Each structure stands twice: as structure tokens, then as C-alpha cells.
């Protein structure tokens, strides 16, 4: 009877060890997969960041070549510099007037408000903002 209980305890102990080993293997496999996915994502982001950096460097060079001003000439070949993946057919065409969003008409600057005497209140003797000292 004691031998049967000992054998059952050893069998249970072996099952527990096997289950723990299986869980450890599963955890290590999932960790390796997550590490590989993270590495792949980082590599893709690195490529995009590298292309973006090259693009920004190219734009800065063009801007310096144009006396520090960002003009149309500094961006004239911009569409050939930066490409990120699949492009639709409309992206290859330069935007035309009918493709651009409507722009609001330019309005003149609003006139400055008229300056008059300060409104009367109880502390009028402390407020000299309406006085001019440049006579």
C-alpha cells in the first residue's frame, strides 16, 4: 500500500514537472516570436526613418541653396525623393487646379479699433493709459 502511494506520488510529480516544462517551453517560444516581431517592426521603422532623414536632408540642402528660403524651386523634385510603398495612379499626376481644395479669398486686415478716452470708473485717477507723453 505504501508502495502504491509512493508510485502515485512519483507519477503525479512527473506530470507536474512535464506540465511545468511544457509551460516554460511555450513561454520561451512566445517570447522568441514576440522578439522576432519586434525586431521586424523595428527594422521596417528604421528603413522608413532612414528614408525620411534622407528626404529632410535633401530638402535642407535645397533650402540652403536657395539662400535659406523654402521656395518652389527647393521642392520641385520632391515627389521623386520620398516614396513609401504602393502608390495610386492619381499620386503620379501633379495636382491641377480642379484637384486642389478651394481657398478662401484673401481678406484685408481689419482696421485697428479707435482709441478714445478710457471709460470712467471709480479708480480713474490711477489709470493713465489714455494719456500720451509724446507731445
Phi and psi dihedrals of 27, rounded to 5?
Answer: -60, -45
Q: Which of 26-30, 107-111, 124-128 has the largest mean confidence?
A: 26-30
Q: What is the reported pLDDT for 53? A: 93
- pLDDT higher than 60, residue 112: yes
- Cα 99 to Cα 96: distance, rounded to the nearest angstrom: 5
CB-neighbour burial class of residue 134 (10 A; exposed 0-12, middle 13-18, buried 19+): exposed
Q: What is the reported pLDDT for 73? A: 58
Looking at per-residue pLDDT, the higher value among 102 and 45 belongs to 45
Would the CA dihedral through 126, 132, 133, 135 be positive or negative? negative
pLDDT one-digit tens code per residue, 36-83: 999 999 999 999 999 999 999 998 888 887 776 666 655 565 555 555
- What is the SS3 assignment for 111? coil
Mean pLDDT, rounded, of the chain: 76
- Cα 127 to Cα 120: distance, rounded to the nearest angstrom: 10
- Cα 115 to Cα 121: distance, rounded to the nearest angstrom: 17
- pLDDT higher than 80, residue 120: no
Please, are residues 129 and 118 in contact by the beta-carbon 8 Å criterion? yes
Amino acid at each position: 500500500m505504501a508502495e502504491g502511494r509512493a508510485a502515485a506520488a512519483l507519477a503525479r510529480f512527473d506530470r507536474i514537472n512535464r506540465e511545468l516544462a511544457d509551460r516554460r517551453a511555450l513561454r520561451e517560444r512566445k517570447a522568441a516570436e514576440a522578439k522576432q516581431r519586434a525586431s521586424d517592426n523595428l527594422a521596417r521603422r528604421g528603413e522608413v526613418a532612414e528614408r525620411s532623414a534622407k528626404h529632410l536632408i535633401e530638402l535642407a540642402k535645397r533650402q540652403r541653396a536657395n539662400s535659406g528660403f523654402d521656395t518652389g524651386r527647393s521642392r520641385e523634385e520632391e515627389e521623386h525623393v520620398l516614396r513609401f510603398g504602393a502608390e495610386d495612379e492619381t499620386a503620379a499626376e501633379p495636382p491641377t487646379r480642379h484637384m486642389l481644395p478651394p481657398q478662401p479669398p484673401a481678406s484685408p486686415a481689419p482696421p485697428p479699433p479707435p482709441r478714445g478716452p478710457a471709460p470712467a470708473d471709480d479708480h480713474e485717477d490711477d489709470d493713465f493709459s489714455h494719456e500720451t507723453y509724446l507731445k
